[in-house]
């Protein structure tokens, strides 16, 4: 997966003083709304503070990581408008992790263990049965050199655990306020598997040190990890970043999103026609004290962002609310902005058409239905044939403009005596085949005389 980088990046003095955050997805699948919310928290804070974001591809699991997923992550972030200032692959930095591991081993803080999963599971069950916490008993620390040699001769290979201090680690969380983790209540974490593969924790800390990450912003499922990572930062002589842990996403019903997350990938949302700023607006505002409203720029979201606004309850991701926000974004888009995308949909019918129909769209592909309504064929809905026939006789000839609908309806009113809903609804139904939609004053010139006359005569056109 390319050459390995073992040195730290070369930062200027101004870089060293700046706020630096990171988003660290694994390229084992496409990113979904939960990932995007984590990314967005980092980007909004960085933008607000004039800081930088590192895109760190966590691809140490070379068996499951793919370049295709790595590329999709980049593409999805770019589609959302989230652009990074620095980029790194963990698979290029194994030598840096080896150096850090050697440092911890030399300090007696990384020690070899030989228990199998079955043996560890039995230990946990015995501890629980006797009323003790299921914490690793550090039996491996009592092994002599001869013991280790014997175990390795039997074919066992060591996994490596980090020796926690047993002290309490405190920090002022950006979201949760004062936090404290008693590391004596935790098992010494495995940092290196028996096959020599690094688990998440050590590479993550090494990268945060090397890339001078100042703030780590992530989900609250990492709170306990932070107590462990603080000790590793200290053991490696690195500056401990500030931490912020926000509540995770749940569905509108309060249930975990895990079973539905496949349909909430960025790629799927883009394919369905959602607007990037609708996705970002929704994710930026849910779970906060701000109302969930559409915003048209990331800069505005950043200006309104504050950790103090994030609540402690899980944020509810509601697809119906996302649709509402998406509609609000679409309704504000001007023709120049949306013209290339209308062309791709085969729905670029000019600025007048866009201005007429945009207020009735929820997703951009909905525009194709209004192209059909304008250009046909439309099966007219006629409940009162005599009324519609009279309307056909009052239909003006020639080109229509913004005043044509008013002139037409006034003529029909004089001819039939109908007014209000009794006047306008039958005309809408006959001309569009629908009982709702854009303002008829804007649609009427787009439909034109020829199609209007045929529809008022009961013909599909």
pLDDT tens-place string over residues 218-227: 999 999 999 9
Class of domain 385-456: mainly alpha
Distance from C-alpha of 248 to C-alpha of 282, rounded to nearest angstrom = 14
Task: For the chain, give every domain's residue range.
Answer: 96-246, 251-332, 335-375, 385-456
Q: Is the pLDDT of residue 258 over 70?
A: no
What's the start-to-end Cα distance of the chain, in Å?
Answer: 59
C-alpha distances (whole Å) from 10 to each of 15, 211, 212, 379 are 9, 9, 10, 68
Beta bridge partners of 244: 217
C-alpha distances (whole Å) from 65 to each of 28, 53, 267 are 5, 22, 18
- pLDDT tens digits, one per residue of 371-428: 999 999 999 999 999 999 999 999 999 999 999 999 999 999 999 999 999 999 999 9
Distance from C-alpha of 458 to C-alpha of 380, rounded to nearest angstrom = 6
For 96-246, CATH number out of 3.20.20.140, 3.40.50.620, 2.40.50.100, 2.70.50.60 equals: 3.40.50.620
CATH of segment(s) 251-332: 1.10.1160.10
Average pLDDT over residues 122-145: 93
- pLDDT tens digits, one per residue of 313-358: 999 999 999 999 999 999 999 999 999 999 999 999 999 999 999 9
Burial 110-131 (b: 16+ CB within 10 A, else e): bbbbbbeeeebeebbeeeeeee
Give the pTM: 0.91
């Amino acid at each position: 997966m390319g050459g390995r980088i073992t040195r730290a990046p070369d930062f200027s003095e101004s870089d060293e003083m700046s706020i630096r955050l990171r988003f660290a997805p694994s390229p084992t699948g496409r990113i979904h709304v939960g990932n995007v919310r984590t990314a967005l928290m980092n980007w909004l804070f960085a933008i607000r503070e004039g800081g930088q974001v590192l895109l760190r591809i966590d691809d140490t699991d070379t068996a499951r990581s793919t370049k295709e997923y790595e590329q999709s992550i980049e593409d999805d972030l770019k589609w959302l408008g989230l652009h990074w200032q620095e980029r790194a692959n963990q698979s290029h930095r194994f030598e840096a992790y080896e150096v850090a591991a050697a440092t911890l081993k030399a300090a007696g803080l990384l020690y070899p263990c030989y228990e199998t999963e079955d043996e560890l599971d039995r230990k946990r069950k015995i501890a629980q049965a006797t009323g003790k916490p299921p914490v690793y008993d550090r039996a491996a620390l009592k092994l002599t050199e001869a013991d280790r040699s014997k175990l390795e001769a039997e074919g066992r290979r060591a996994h490596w655990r980090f020796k926690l201090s047993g002290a309490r680690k405190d920090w002022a969380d950006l979201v949760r306020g004062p936090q404290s983790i008693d590391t004596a209540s935790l098992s010494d974490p495995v940092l290196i598997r028996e096959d020599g593969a690094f688990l998440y924790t050590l590479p993550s800390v090494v990268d945060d040190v090397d890339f001078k990450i100042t703030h780590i912003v992530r989900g609250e499922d990492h709170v306990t990890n932070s107590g462990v990572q603080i000790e590793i930062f200290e053991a490696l002589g690195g500056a401990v970043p500030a931490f912020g842990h926000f509540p995770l996403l749940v569905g509108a019903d309060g249930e975990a999103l895990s079973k539905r997350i496949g349909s909430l990938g960025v790629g799927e949302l883009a394919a369905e026609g959602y607007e990037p700023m609708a996705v970002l607006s929704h994710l930026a505002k849910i779970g906060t004290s701000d109302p969930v409203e559409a915003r048209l720029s990331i800069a505005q979201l950043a200006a309104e962002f504050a950790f103090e606004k994030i609540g402690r309850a899980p944020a509810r991701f509601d697809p119906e609310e996302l649709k509402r926000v998406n509609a609000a974004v679409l309704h504000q888009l001007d023709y120049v902005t949306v013209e290339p995308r209308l062309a791709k949909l085969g729905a670029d019918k000019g600025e007048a058409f866009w201005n007429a129909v945009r207020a009735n769209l929820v997703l951009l592909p909905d525009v194709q239905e209004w192209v059909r309504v304008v250009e046909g064929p439309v099966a007219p809905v006629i409940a009162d044939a005599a009324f519609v026939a009279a309307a056909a006789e009052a239909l003006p000839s020639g080109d229509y403009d913004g005043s044509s609908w008013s002139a037409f309806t006034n003529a029909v009113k004089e001819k039939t005596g109908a007014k209000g809903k009794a006047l306008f609804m039958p005309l809408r139904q006959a001309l569009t085949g629908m009982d709702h939609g854009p303002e008829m004053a804007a649609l009427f010139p787009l439909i034109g005389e020829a199609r209007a006359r045929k529809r008022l005569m009961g013909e599909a056109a």
